[in-house]
């Protein structure tokens, strides 16, 4: 199954199994305000557009100042339903004009790059001379209260996940100077249904060794009504 097909299947229910990323929204909003970003902000791999919608509401950007690019047609359709302009395209071939992007955002999406050299060339082409990149990468997560079943899935995710620096450095090379790295933490209250859906829809790239029948069985072993999802995220800021 391709990445686009995978997210097409998740699109309609995506926001039910992925809480709004408040920590990333706050970082983007504060960055736009502090740096008076008035040009085009592009969210690469922006999914359903929920994050850009929240950013727009907080900083009162005009619709033409925001753009979402995603590999999935289903995700783009969800975003357009929120009034967010969306283009279905690979990150490496955006069709955007030269020097048209003031801020490029990759929120836990840069690892879906298909050709790293083309990505570097495309970002160099579309970013303005003062353009910036904000790259978010989840470094750790856990659910409280925990259990043996939940620990199994957390362990699998950690075991197969590369360090963010390794992934990002490989994809961006030395083409974009790093300005700073910031650690972010979020805590979302989630219910039992969220936790069950998260297991059933576990990313295949992490947990493909756990058969769907085993995952379905594990769902029935989870007890509780309310949980806390704690996520640790690294945000990398690069200059063009």
pLDDT in tens, 54-83: 999 999 889 999 999 999 999 999 999 999
Query: Residue 19: which residues within 8 A CB-CB, separation 6 or more?
Result: 188, 190, 194, 229
Reported as type and span, the H/E element at residue 87 is strand 86-88
Query: Residue 22: which residues within 8 A CB-CB, separation 6 or more?
Result: 186, 188
Give residue limits of the domains in the chain: 3-137+162-185+233-239
User: Per residue in 160-194, pLDDT tens?
Assistant: 778 899 999 999 998 999 999 999 998 989 999 88
CATH match of 3-137+162-185+233-239 with 3.40.50.150 = yes
Assign residue 163 a region (left: φ > 0; alpha: ψ between -120 and 50; beta: otherwise): beta
* Order of strands across the sheet that contains 226-239: 86-88, 66-70, 40-44, 101-107, 127-144, 226-239, 178-191
In the numeric block, the tokens 């059933």 are attached to 200
What is the pTM for the complete model shown? 0.89
User: Per residue in 5-48, pLDDT tens?
Assistant: 878 887 888 887 788 889 999 999 999 999 999 899 999 999 99
């Amino acid at each position: 199954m391709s990445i686009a097909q995978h997210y097409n299947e998740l699109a309609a229910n995506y926001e039910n199994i992925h809480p709004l990323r408040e920590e990333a929204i706050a970082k983007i909003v504060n960055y736009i305000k502090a740096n008076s970003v008035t040009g085009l902000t592009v969210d690469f791999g922006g999914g359903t557009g929920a994050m850009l919608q929240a950013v727009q509401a907080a900083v009162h950007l005009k619709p033409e100042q925001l753009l979402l690019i995603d590999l999935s047609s289903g995700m783009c359709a969800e975003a357009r339903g929120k009034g967010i302009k969306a283009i279905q395209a690979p990150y490496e071939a955006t069709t955007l004009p030269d020097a048209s992007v003031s801020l490029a955002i990759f929120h836990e999406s840069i690892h879906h790059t298909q050709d790293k050299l083309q990505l570097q060339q495309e970002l160099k082409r579309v970013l303005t001379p003062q353009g910036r990149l904000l790259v978010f990468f989840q470094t750790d997560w856990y659910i409280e209260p925990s259990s043996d079943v939940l620990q199994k899935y957390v362990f699998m995710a950690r075991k197969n996940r590369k360090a963010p620096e390794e992934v990002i450095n490989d994809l961006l090379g030395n083409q974009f100077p790093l300005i700073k790295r910031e650690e972010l933490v979020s805590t979302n209250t989630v219910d039992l249904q969220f936790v069950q859906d998260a297991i059933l829809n576990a990313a295949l790239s992490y947990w493909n060794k756990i058969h769907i029948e085993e995952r379905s069985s594990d769902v029935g072993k989870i007890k509780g009504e309310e949980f806390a999802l704690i996520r640790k995220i690294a945000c990398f800021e690069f200059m063009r």
